[in-house]
Amino acid sequence: MITPYFVIIPLFAAFLIALIARKKENIAAGIALIVGIILCIMSIYSFVLLSGNEGAIYYHFSNWKAPITISLVLDYLSSFMLIIISVISLIAIFYSLQYLNHYTGKWQFFALFMLMITGMNGVALTGDFFNLFVFIEISLFSAYSLVAFGCEAEELEAAFKYAIVGAISSTLILFSVGILYSITSSLNMADVGRLLLNEKSKVIYLVYGMMIVGFGLKSALVPFHAWLPDAHPSAPAPISSMLSGVLIKVLGIYALIRVFFNVFGAPQIFLQIILILGIISMVVGGLMSLMQWDIKRLLGFSTVSQVGYIFLGIGLGTPLGILGAIFHLLNHSIFKALLFMNAGAVEYALDTRDMKQMGGLSKKLPITSTTSMIGSLSISGIPPFNGFFSKLIIIIACIQAGHPIYAGWAILISIITLAYYLKMQRFTFYGKQNFKKIFEKVPFTLKTSMIILAGLCVISSVLIIPGIKEVTLDKVTEVILDKTKYIEYIKPLILGGR
């Protein structure tokens, strides 16, 4: 049973680094890298393992039975998220090896990074509402500290803002879990889902509202997005790519999908709210990006816009919409991680984030420039890169579901996306040179990580080819759309029967 080790290994590594590697920073980096590789292999193996286990593996803590104990549920959706977390985090750890040359206290960085992975893996696996809250807090607390890692005034302010917003959203989630517990007397997600089938109480709408706001704050949907353009750019580049690429997806989008589709059975009111908020995020994020001159802030607003696309796909509620949403989720984590790493490399070389002080970098930093171009083309939806296919699926799904206007908005924002990424390319890598000199060359691990991610931007397009799609993305879509299977597992395990 490999399920609990996704949480145990990074947790153990975090405190091991704190215990033995405080003076020896190379050991801290080595432990983090080894853990990254192990988790990467384990997560890919877990996806393979599921096909022999009817698509789900359950694990119960301390040998107690299900509704009483905390259970971990590994199904295709969890496994898919674990793969995204571990691949991006492995590349981010590799990137940090040399990126952190400018920083002190490397062991703290890696220990906090391991804790963040612990929290995210826990969120992806847990089958228990209170445990979900605890793991969200573990990853968020490490994220707050990592955003403030540089200890500059701006970074501390961003981390403080992030912490306040995070605390508000966590409070809402905790309240809604409390209300659910008062209705059903259970915290196990599958058990809550089973008991809610016969529940007619109106108070459930309060739970829906709190959860949408709580998880919406974490995934930066538009009325709740104000913290993201501050917090994500302030962090060191590998952390920005983890936050924008993975954290908001696991804590916000994955948790919303798991709770609303598998436990609450995809209520219509939720889908409509998410659909509207998704379109608003898409538009507002895109327009705000156009106006930015700070390269990482532009990427931050771009995340808001792309999250809008994912929610548009989810809100449609059709199999094709969900397929597009999860494919875009995967693609966005790849190219947004790449783009943040590009911005980090430029910042490393020039020590500025202002695009007005860049220009003409394509000759000085050829690898950064090329990979950044691939990332920009992917996110703008240019074939043959992965972003094209996921956006196309979402747009087709909109038309199929009878919402041609939404499809029109998606196309329009796709053009705006292309516009602001061309602006970024023009002012950063092409055009007139506005900087005096390059302070430092981009080191080896930064270049390698960017090349790997740029390769993934092309390679992940194959997931949509018929034949491969059926054994990968379709399996994940089935888990989301199957409203009964997640609940079914609890029935043989119920103690006594209530």
Partner 1 sequence: MNEEKGMTIIVKTITRFTVWLIFLYGLYIIIHGHLTPGGGFAGGVIISLSFVHLTLAYGKDFFLKRHKISTLHNIEAGGALAFVIIGILGIAWTGSFLANFISTGKLFTLKSAGVIPLLNIAIGAKAGTALYLVFYYLVTHRSFIQKSESEGEIK
Interface contacts to partner 1, rule CB under 8 A: 1, 4, 8, 11-12, 15-16, 18-19, 22, 59-63
CB of 10 to partner 1, least distance (A): 10
CB of 106 to partner 1, least distance (A): 16
Whether 71 contacts 127, CB under 8 Å: yes
DSSP letter, residue 126: B
Pick the closer one to partner 1 by CB: 82 or 457: 82
Pick the closer one to partner 1 by CB: 4 or 267: 4
CB of 167 to partner 1, least distance (A): 17
Taking the CB of residue 151, how many other CB atoms lie within 10 A of it?
A: 11
CB of 349 to partner 1, least distance (A): 29
CB of 399 to partner 1, least distance (A): 48
Cβ neighbors of 248 (< 8 A, separation 6 or more) are: 218, 219, 220, 228, 303, 307
Pick the closer one to partner 1 by CB: 63 or 268: 63
CB of 69 to partner 1, least distance (A): 9
365 φ/ψ sector (left φ>0, alpha ψ -120 to 50, else beta) = beta
Pick the closer one to partner 1 by CB: 8 or 495: 8
Pick the closer one to partner 1 by CB: 107 or 301: 107
Whether 380 contacts 414, CB under 8 Å: yes
Angle between helices 5-20 and 25-50 (to 10 degrees): 180
Using CA atoms, how far apart are residues 148 and 108, in angstroms rounded to an integer? Answer: 12
Pick the closer one to partner 1 by CB: 17 or 377: 17
CB of 125 to partner 1, least distance (A): 12
Using CA atoms, how far apart are residues 119 and 136, in angstroms rounded to an integer? Answer: 6
178 φ/ψ sector (left φ>0, alpha ψ -120 to 50, else beta) = alpha
DSSP letter, residue 73: E
Pick the closer one to partner 1 by CB: 108 or 449: 108
335 φ/ψ sector (left φ>0, alpha ψ -120 to 50, else beta) = alpha
Q: How far is CA 184 from the centre of its chain?
A: 30
Element (H, E) at 56: strand 56-60
Reading the block at residue 171, the tokens are 């409070």
Using CA atoms, how far apart are residues 473 and 351, in angstroms rounded to an integer? Answer: 40
In 64-125, alpha helices (H): 76-99, 106-125
Angle between helices 404-428 and 268-290 (to 10 degrees): 30
CB of 22 to partner 1, least distance (A): 7
CB of 8 to partner 1, least distance (A): 6
Pick the closer one to partner 1 by CB: 167 or 206: 167
Pick the closer one to partner 1 by CB: 67 or 313: 67
